Structure 1
Amino acid sequence: MITKEELIRELNGDLAYEFAAAIQYVQHVATLTGGEFQSINAELIVHVNEEIGHANILAEQIDYLGGIPTMDVAERFTDKDSRKMLEQDLEGERLAIRRYRERVKQAQELELYALETALKQILADEEEHERDIMEALGM
């Protein structure tokens, strides 16, 4: 069973990934080229705002649990090829989905129901982001 301190550490890791996702999306929105990516470009702007919202939720939950929200930023990825950029974004969303599924279980173990609810909403958003990007990639 995870401890509260370990959960705070993991949530801070998630927060660093949310910061990275927002930065990566901002850069990709600015540099994506090609008519086939115009519709996803507008959606990625929505993703930026949602990732910042996730960061705010995580920071509040970390603080509530007695931790200090990180200012660290996880690794970001980019490429000159628009398709590869979207593939990077897709991999980031899939990583987030895996992390948040685990985090939901951990919150349940510790009977932190408000955190569990917040994490499930973030997870639902990340699953929607995955679908958006898969559609743009023709998957």
Structure 2
Amino acid sequence: MNRHDDAAKLILRLVLGILILLHGISKMTHGVGGIVGMVQDHGWPGFTAYFVYIGEVVAPILVIAGIFTRLGGLLIALNMLAAFVLVHHAQLFMLNGQGGWQLELQGMYLFTAIAVALLGAGRFSVGGAGGRFN
């Protein structure tokens, strides 16, 4: 693997991690009361709303740091799948006013998280290339 591959992984990790973490910070600031209602409306136990903190705070920090990166990417992907089910299911097959997918941002988060989970952190990470916790 060359240095450009590692730099690309770093960029991918930082962009995904920071953008998702901002959502998590908002939830830490304003709480998850609205999410509790959504999960209960779907027949899920209310406490499952608090898993959003794992998907939007813990996982992005792992991804940004490059430690347990594959797990962090997987957790973000699972968080996005939950968001699709809870919030965006009606828009799944819709196009926006410009002809793009209505969920292109959410889809970008989901598939970027999957890519991070598959690629790992790379050399520019706390875990280092081939690191034990990478």
Shorter-normalised TM range:
0.3 to 0.5
* Greater share of residues in helix: 1
Instruction: Give TM-score, length-normalised by structure 1.
Output: 0.39
- TM-score scaled by length of structure 2: 0.40
